């Protein structure tokens, strides 16, 4: 095992112990803030902040630029939410340590997660703070899940993919497997988010992720192909959609939720027209006998759906969750997404 996390932990604690005595004393009596929201001033961050505030949670708003964070904090505190602000440099262990001290859970919206999540997760492990993110990159989701042993050793809960996409397709797969009563031989999932506006961070994350090409599981093995390989047309949400296998977190959550050896996660063709603000996910499971079952989930606008799922996940982690590295569905089950969003689910075109 690399010594980097240990060294990072020592550095952070040295910095953390330099904070003023009054702050340290307040930490001893409980959490100073329930949730540290990383990337709070971004498009997703602001929506998540509103959801967390609606749950009555206190917030520490963190990011690179103080001005937008302070504007958001003023708006939240005017509504009665306890909120403070920290500027953070993800490359500075001391900056992370000072910001994370005294919070119950860190909720990160900062992508690309395949690059940006590592120092945040390592800080959480070193400081014993739980972590939730909204990652939807296959590399990032799989990378966090590979930290299960570390998380258990540090008694920390790590949760990835707590947003529309991974969590929403995962809930469908969990329901399909329960309905079938057997491990399927093949699972396919797809997500199509309707969003009012897409932030620059999301665009950058998508662009970097697509550079990984088409990734699928065949006979239990990871298969990498050129992006566009396996393109097809699916009909869900009453719309015929051009889709292609993508390197998204849904691939890993669907594999783990189903146990299937053959899994494909589709994304909308980036060149195809997108319309409407409803967000949809679709899942198909094929049993050993060839029986096929499908399910669909309809949610509202994609950013708001992500905000509701992420906030509910953070709330549940804060209330007490088992240590380890988890997907949202692994930890909280198939009802998490519908509980958080009031999404509508159908199975074989019948209400479920």
CB 297 within 8 A of CB 343: yes
| Alpha-carbon separation of residue 65 from 16, 19, 76, 112, 163 (angstroms) | 21, 21, 17, 18, 24
Q: How far apart are CA 350 and CA 181, in angstroms?
A: 18
Q: How confident is the model at residue 175 (pLDDT cuts 50, 70, 90)?
A: very high
Question: How confident is the model at residue 198, as a pLDDT?
Answer: 61
Q: Which two tokens stand for residue 116?
A: 């940006």
Q: How confident is the model at residue 262 (pLDDT cuts 50, 70, 90)?
A: very high
Q: Which CATH number fits domain 4-163+305-332: 1.10.1370.30, 3.40.50.720, 1.10.3720.10, 3.40.50.300?
A: 3.40.50.720
Tell me if the domain spanning 166-301+340-351 has CATH number 3.30.2320.80.
Answer: no
Question: How confident is the model at residue 18, as a pLDDT?
Answer: 41
Question: How confident is the model at residue 31, as a pLDDT?
Answer: 75
Q: pLDDT tens across 102-125, in order? A: 999 999 999 999 999 999 999 999
323 contacts: CB under 8 Å, gap ≥ 6: 151, 152, 154, 155, 156, 157
Pick 351 or 223 by higher pLDDT. Answer: 223
Residue 199 has pLDDT above 90, yes or no: no
Share of the chain above pLDDT 70, in %: 87
| Alpha-carbon separation of residue 53 from 35, 57, 195 (angstroms) | 10, 5, 22
Q: Which residues of the chain form CATH 3.40.50.720?
A: 4-163+305-332
Q: To the nearest 10°, report the CA torsion of 274, 276, 277, 278.
A: -100
Other C-beta atoms lying within 10 Å of the C-beta of residue 265: 31
Residue 12 has pLDDT above 50, yes or no: no
Q: What phi-psi label fits residue 228: left (phi over 0), alpha (psi between -120 and 50 degrees) or beta?
A: left
Provide mean pLDDT across the span 25-36. 66
Q: How confident is the model at residue 273 (pLDDT cuts 50, 70, 90)?
A: low
Q: How far apart are CA 265 and CA 244, in angstroms?
A: 8
pTM: 0.90
SS3 127: helix
Q: pLDDT tens across 223-257, in order? A: 999 999 999 999 999 999 999 999 999 999 999 99
Provide mean pLDDT across the span 256-277. 88
Per the listing, tokens 């602001």 go with 46
In terms of Cβ atoms closer than 10 Å to its own Cβ (0-12, 13-18, 19+), residue 160 is buried
Other C-beta atoms lying within 10 Å of the C-beta of residue 116: 21
Q: How far apart are CA 32 and CA 26, in angstroms?
A: 7
CB 280 within 8 A of CB 297: yes
Q: pLDDT tens across 294-324, in order? A: 999 999 999 999 999 999 999 999 999 999 9
Q: How far apart are CA 283 and CA 281, in angstroms?
A: 7
Question: How confident is the model at residue 233, as a pLDDT?
Answer: 97
Question: How confident is the model at residue 26, as a pLDDT?
Answer: 36
Q: Which residues of the chain form CATH 3.30.360.10?
A: 166-301+340-351
Q: Which two tokens stand for residue 242?
A: 């051009």
- Paired with 192 in beta bridges are 280
């Amino acid at each position: 095992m690399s010594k980097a996390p240990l060294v990072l932990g020592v550095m952070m604690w040295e910095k953390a112990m330099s904070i003023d005595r009054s702050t340290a004393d307040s930490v001893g009596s409980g959490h100073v803030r329930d949730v540290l929201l990383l990337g709070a001033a971004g498009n997703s961050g602001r929506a998540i902040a509103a959801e967390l505030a609606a749950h009555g949670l206190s917030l520490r708003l963190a990011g690179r630029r103080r001005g937008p964070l302070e504007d958001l904090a003023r708006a939240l505190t005017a509504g009665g939410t306890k909120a403070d602000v920290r500027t953070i440099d993800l490359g500075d262990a001391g900056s992370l340590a000072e910001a994370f001290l005294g919070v119950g859970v860190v909720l990160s919206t900062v992508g690309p997660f395949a690059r940006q999540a590592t120092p945040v997760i390592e800080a959480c492990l070193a400081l014993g703070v739980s972590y939730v993110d909204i990652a939807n990159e296959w590399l990032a989701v799989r990378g966090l899940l590979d930290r299960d042993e570390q998380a258990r050793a540090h008694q920390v809960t790590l949760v990835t993919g707590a947003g529309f996409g991974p969590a929403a397709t995962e809930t469908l797969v969990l329901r399909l497997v329960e309905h079938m009563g057997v491990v399927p031989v093949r699972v396919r999932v797809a997500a199509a988010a309707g969003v009012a506006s897409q932030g620059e961070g999301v665009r950058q994350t998508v662009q970097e992720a697509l550079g990984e090409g088409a990734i699928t599981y065949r006979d239990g093995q990871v298969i990498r192909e050129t992006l566009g390989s396996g393109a097809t047309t699916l009909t869900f949400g009453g719309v015929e959609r051009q889709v292609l296998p993508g390197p998204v977190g849904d691939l890993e959550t669907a594999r783990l939720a189903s146990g299937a050896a053959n899994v494909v996660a589709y994304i909308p063709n980036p060149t195809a027209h997108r319309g409407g603000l409803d967000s949809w996910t679709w899942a198909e499971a094929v049993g050993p006998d060839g029986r096929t079952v499908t399910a669909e989930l309809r949610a509202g606008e994609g950013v708001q759906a992500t905000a509701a799922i992420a906030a509910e996940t953070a709330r549940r982690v804060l209330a007490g969750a088992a240590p380890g590295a988890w997907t949202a569905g692994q930890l909280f089950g198939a009802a998490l997404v519908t509980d958080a969003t009031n999404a509508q689910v159908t199975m074989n075109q019948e209400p479920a």
